Amino acid sequence: MSCLSWSSLTVLAGVLSVRVAAWNSTYYNPVIPGFHPDPSCIFVPEEDNTFFCASSSFNAFPGIPIHASKDLMHWRLISNVLNRPEQLPTLAITNGSTSGIWGSAIRYREGTFYVLTTLVFDDQPETNNSRWDNMVFTSVDPYASGAWSQPVHFNFTGYDTSPFWDADGTVYVTGSHPWEVTPGITQTTLDLATGAVGAGYQYVWNGTGGEAPEGPHIYPRDGYYYLMIAEGGTGLNHMETIARARAVGGPYEANPANPILTNANTSEYFQTVGHADLFQDAEGSWWGVALSTRSGPEYTVFPMGRETVLFPVTWEEGEWPVLQPVRGEMSGWQLPPTNVDVPGEGPFTNEPDYLTFSPGSTLPIHLVHWRLPINASYTVSPPGYPNTLRLLPSKLNLTAYDGNYAGPGGQTLIARRQMDTLFTYGVNMDFAPGAEEEEAGVTVFLTQNHHIDLGMVLLPYTNASTNMTVLTPCFRFRSASYIAVPPTTVTPVPTAWLDRTLHWEIKAFNITHYSFAAGPADAYSQMQTFGYGLAADVSWGFTGTLVGIYATSNGGEGTAPAYFSEWTYVGQGQYRD
Ligand SMILES: *[C@@H]1O[C@H](CO)[C@@H](O)[C@H](O)[C@H]1NC(C)=O
Ligand SMILES: *[C@@H]1O[C@H](CO)[C@@H](O)[C@H](O)[C@H]1NC(C)=O
Ligand SMILES: *[C@@H]1O[C@H](CO)[C@@H](O)[C@H](O)[C@H]1NC(C)=O
Ligand SMILES: *[C@@H]1O[C@H](CO)[C@@H](O)[C@H](O)[C@H]1NC(C)=O
Ligand SMILES: *[C@@H]1O[C@H](CO)[C@@H](O)[C@H](O)[C@H]1NC(C)=O
Ligand SMILES: *[C@@H]1O[C@H](CO)[C@@H](O)[C@H](O)[C@H]1NC(C)=O
Ligand SMILES: *[C@@H]1O[C@H](CO)[C@@H](O)[C@H](O)[C@H]1NC(C)=O
Ligand SMILES: *[C@@H]1O[C@H](CO)[C@@H](O)[C@H](O)[C@H]1NC(C)=O
Ligand SMILES: *[C@@H]1O[C@H](CO)[C@@H](O)[C@H](O)[C@H]1NC(C)=O
Ligand SMILES: *[C@@H]1O[C@H](CO)[C@@H](O)[C@H](O)[C@H]1NC(C)=O
Ligand SMILES: *[C@@H]1O[C@H](CO)[C@@H](O)[C@H](O)[C@H]1NC(C)=O
Distance from Cα 373 to the centre of ligand 3, integer Å: 20
Alpha carbons 197 and 216: distance in angstroms, whole number: 18
The mean pLDDT value of the chain amounts to: 94
Q: Measure CA 257 to chain center.
A: 31
Pair (403, 448) in one structural domain = yes
Pair (389, 418) in one structural domain = yes
Alpha carbons 305 and 307: distance in angstroms, whole number: 6
Residue 103 lies in a domain: yes
Report the pLDDT averaged over residues 325-347.
98
| Phi/psi of residue 383, nearest 5 degrees | -50, 130
Report the pLDDT averaged over residues 294-323.
98
Task: State pLDDT tens for residues 201-221.
Answer: 999 999 999 999 999 999 999
Ligand nearest to the CA of 186: 6
Alpha carbons 408 and 410: distance in angstroms, whole number: 5
Ligand 6 atom 9: residue of nearest CA: 203
Residue 156 lies in a domain: yes
Report the pLDDT averaged over residues 542-563.
97
Rounded-to-10 torsion of CA 451, 459, 515, 28: 30
Peptide bond into 62 cis (omega under 30): yes
State the amino acid at position 381 in one-letter form: S
pLDDT for residue 159: 96
The pLDDT confidence band at residue 10, using thresholds 50, 70 and 90, is: very low
Q: CA separation (Å) from 203 to 87, 174, 471?
A: 31, 9, 63
| Cβ neighbours for 502, distance < 8 A, ≥ 6 positions apart | 428, 429, 430, 431, 456, 518, 519, 520, 521
Pair (159, 212) in one structural domain = yes
Could you tell me if residue 192 is left (phi over 0), alpha (psi between -120 and 50 degrees) or otherwise beta?
A: alpha
Task: Find the distance separating the first CA and the last CA of the chain, reported in whole Å.
Answer: 19
Report the pLDDT averaged over residues 22-50.
98
Q: Which domain covers residue 181, as residue numbers?
A: 10-332
Ligand 4 atom nearest 93 alpha carbon: 5
Task: State pLDDT tens for residues 505-539.
Answer: 999 999 999 999 999 999 999 999 999 999 999 99
How many CB atoms lie under 10 A from the CB of residue 515?
Answer: 17
pLDDT for residue 6: 35
* Pocket of ligand 6 contains residue 213 by CB under 6 Å: no
Ligand 4 atom 14: residue of nearest CA: 128
The pLDDT confidence band at residue 222, using thresholds 50, 70 and 90, is: very high
Residue 346 lies in a domain: no
Q: What angle do CA 99, 102, 104 make, to 5 degrees?
A: 165
pLDDT for residue 181: 72
Alpha carbons 473 and 453: distance in angstroms, whole number: 16
Pair (151, 245) in one structural domain = yes
pLDDT for residue 495: 95
Alpha carbons 421 and 39: distance in angstroms, whole number: 20
Task: State pLDDT tens for residues 410-432.
Answer: 999 999 999 999 999 999 999 99
The pLDDT confidence band at residue 122, using thresholds 50, 70 and 90, is: confident
pLDDT for residue 515: 98
DSSP lists the bridge partners of residue 505 as: 426, 517
Residue 345 lies in a domain: no
Pair (105, 76) in one structural domain = yes
Residue 5 lies in a domain: no
Q: Provide the sign of the torsion angle of the four alpha carbons 511, 516, 521, 525, taken in this order.
A: negative
Pair (394, 264) in one structural domain = no
User: Of 280, 298, 332, which residue constitutes the final position of a domain?
Assistant: 332
Task: Reduce the DSSP state of residue 47 to 3 states and report it.
Answer: helix
CB burial of 68-102 (b: ≥16 within 10 Å; e: otherwise) equals bbbbbbbbbbbbbbbbeeebbeebbebbbbbbbbb
Is the pLDDT confidence value at 477 over 80? yes
Provide the annotated active-site residues. Answer: 38, 214
Task: State pLDDT tens for residues 360-410.
Answer: 999 999 999 999 999 999 999 999 999 999 999 999 999 998 889 998 889
Is the pLDDT confidence value at 315 over 90? yes
pLDDT for residue 532: 98
Residues above pLDDT 90, as percent of the chain: 90
DSSP 346-400: S-BTTPPEEE---TT----TT-BEESS--GGGEEES-TT-TT-EEEPPBSS-SST
pLDDT for residue 126: 55
Is the pLDDT confidence value at 15 over 70? no
User: Of 332, 367, 402, which residue constitutes the final position of a domain?
Assistant: 332
| Cβ neighbours for 156, distance < 8 A, ≥ 6 positions apart | 118, 132, 134, 173, 175, 188, 197, 201
Say if CB 531 and CB 477 are below 8 A apart.
Answer: yes
Pair (313, 402) in one structural domain = no
Residue 434 lies in a domain: yes
Q: How many folded domains does the chain comprise?
A: 2
Residue 3 lies in a domain: no
Is the pLDDT confidence value at 194 over 90? yes
pLDDT for residue 8: 33
Residue 2 lies in a domain: no
Whichever domain contains 209, its CATH number is 2.115.10.20
Pair (424, 293) in one structural domain = no
Task: State pLDDT tens for residues 142-188.
Answer: 999 999 999 999 999 999 999 999 999 999 999 999 877 789 999 99
Whichever domain contains 483, its CATH number is 2.60.120.200
Is the pLDDT confidence value at 124 over 70? no
State the amino acid at position 271 in one-letter form: Q
Alpha carbons 451 and 444: distance in angstroms, whole number: 6
Pair (288, 418) in one structural domain = no
Q: What angle do CA 172, 235, 188 make, to 5 degrees?
A: 10
Pair (313, 237) in one structural domain = yes
How many helical (H) and strand (E) elements, i.e. helices and strands, does the chain have? 0, 42
Alpha carbons 409 and 356: distance in angstroms, whole number: 28
* Pocket of ligand 6 contains residue 255 by CB under 6 Å: no
Helix (H) or strand (E) holding 458, with range, is: strand 450-463
Pair (295, 409) in one structural domain = no
Q: Which residues' Cβ are closer than 6 Å to ligand 11?
A: 397-399, 478, 480, 554-555
User: Of 278, 300, 332, which residue constitutes the final position of a domain?
Assistant: 332
Pair (214, 292) in one structural domain = yes
Distance from Cα 195 to the centre of ligand 3, integer Å: 30
Distance from Cα 564 to the centre of ligand 11, integer Å: 23
